[in-house]
Amino acid sequence: MTETTDQVTVSLLRWLRRQLRQPTPMREHLEAAVANDDPGEARRLLAGFDFSDTQRRHVEGLLDRWERDRGRS
């Protein structure tokens, strides 16, 4: 993983942990997707979440950057 990808991963994990305070199976699946460098799976899991427009744009931006950076490594 590149340094930028690592930063995006850390940002996404921090955001997820703040949003999903309780350790649920969904949170564990999302953390596994991040740990396994699988933005597609993370995107699939997050698609069903009820985010505000601002939250959705933020998450989509993180996922887009992760996928873009992943393609460079």
**Sequence spans of domains, the chain:** 3-72
Q: Which residue has the higher pLDDT, 70 or 33?
A: 33
Q: What is the pLDDT of residues 24-58, one digit of tens each?
A: 788 889 889 988 989 999 999 999 888 889 989 98
- Res. 1: pLDDT tops 60: no
Within 10 Å of residue 10's Cβ, how many Cβ atoms?
Answer: 11
Residues in the chain: 73
pLDDT at 70: 81
H helix intervals, the chain: 3-19, 25-35, 39-46, 53-72
